[in-house]
A and B are shown apart, each in its own frame.
Chain A
Amino acid sequence: MPLKIEYNDWAGRLDSSVSAVFETMLARSCSPTEKMGGIVQPVSAKILFSGAIDGEFVLYASRSVAQVTAEALLGQVAGADDPMIEDAMGELCNMIAGDWKSKLETEQATCAISSPMVSKIDGGAEGLTSGDGFHRFYSFEGNVFGVQMAL
């Protein structure tokens, strides 16, 4: 039977993983924030957990924030329509979810994670996520993005 994760454990591990990925891969400090404003042209990336944990991990942001994030990861400027933006969001999602998984107890950490699935949504962020699970927001240099986990 899949194991359950308590919120306090989930949030603390997630904060640590987001911080580690941003500091290591983007050389940026990133910390939790209370909320995010409207999401314009959202880009979202999703990872599925299966096995010892069943659930999903979604990273989402406005396209402008995703573009800044991709540029920080790549170390070069990306055009507004550059497919590297979606690719970078997928990889960040993958790395944060993977780092979060690595902090779990041994049995839980054996769960499998899928390759990232990335989508662009026209218009607002309605329908971006299912609404289930935990939401948490993060900010680096004034750029805010969200993480949703449903376990």
Chain B
Amino acid sequence: MRALIIDDSAVMRKVVERALRQSGIDFTEVLQASNGEEALEALRGDAANKLNLIVSDINMPVMDGLQFLETRRDQNLAPGVPVVMITTEGSEPFVLRAIAAGARGYICKPFTAEQVKERVIPLLGAA
């Protein structure tokens, strides 16, 4: 399995990667991007064909997670790869906009590795 983690914080990318690896799923490669624009560039390249999962923050400079979702949908980039949002923005307008733009899961910070596992495993099973 291969995942892409999008977060402007290197600390959070490490924390999320650790949670993914604790899920029991064998991630052979975990790619990283620090904002939505970097992630879109990765999806326009070879990464799109290799990914099984994308995990994204919302509040990021350059391009935030919601803009990333909407651009990815509009440009039909890696359409079959499930996206899970991990963010501090848990209010209803953010959740609804993320789901409308194609997010398949939504986890609010702070989060446990168990919560990540519960959201991610069903998505990978259906992928």
The reply to whether A25 and B89 contact each other, CB–CB distance below 8 Å, is no
CA distance A115 to B109 in the complex (A): 14
Interface 0/1 of B9-39, CB less than 8 Å to A: 1111011001000000000000000000000
Interface 0/1 of B28-62, CB less than 8 Å to A: 00000000000000000000000000000001110
A31: min CB distance to chain B, Å: 16
The reply to whether A98 and B89 contact each other, CB–CB distance below 8 Å, is yes
Interface size class of B (residues with CB under 8 A): 20 to 34
B125 CB contacts on chain A under 8 angstroms: none
The reply to whether B110 and A95 contact each other, CB–CB distance below 8 Å, is yes
CA distance A9 to B2 in the complex (A): 44
Would A84 and B59 be within 8 Å (CB), given that A97-B88, A102-B108 are in contact?
A: no
The reply to whether A98 and B88 contact each other, CB–CB distance below 8 Å, is yes
CA distance A20 to B12 in the complex (A): 17
Interface size class of A (residues with CB under 8 A): 20 to 34
Residue from the list A74, A98, A99, A101 in contact with B11, Cβ < 8 A = A74
Would A87 and B111 be within 8 Å (CB), given that A94-B88, A98-B88, A102-B91 are in contact?
A: no
Main secondary structure of the interface of B (DSSP, over half): loop
A24 at the binding interface (Cβ < 8 Å):
yes
Would A70 and B15 be within 8 Å (CB), given that A95-B109, A110-B91 are in contact?
A: no
Main secondary structure of the interface of A (DSSP, over half): helix
A73 at the binding interface (Cβ < 8 Å):
yes
CA distance A21 to B59 in the complex (A): 18
The reply to whether A113 and B88 contact each other, CB–CB distance below 8 Å, is yes
A14: min CB distance to chain B, Å: 14
B55: min CB distance to chain A, Å: 15
Residue from the list B8, B93, B112 in contact with A24, Cβ < 8 A = B112
B90 at the binding interface (Cβ < 8 Å):
yes
CA distance A101 to B89 in the complex (A): 9
CA distance A110 to B94 in the complex (A): 9
Would A102 and B90 be within 8 Å (CB), given that A87-B10, A95-B110 are in contact?
A: yes
A70 CB contacts on chain B under 8 angstroms: 11
Interface 0/1 of A100-142, CB less than 8 Å to B: 0110001001100111000000000000000000000000000
Give the A-binding residues of B (Cβ under 8 A): 8-12, 14-15, 18, 59-61, 87-93, 108-112
- Can you list 11 residue pairs at the A/B interface with Cβ under 8 Å? A21-B110, A24-B110, A24-B112, A25-B109, A74-B15, A87-B10, A91-B9, A94-B88, A98-B87, A98-B90, A115-B8
Give the B-binding residues of A (Cβ under 8 A): 20-21, 24-25, 70, 73-75, 83-84, 87-88, 90-91, 94-95, 97-99, 101-102, 106, 109-110, 113-115
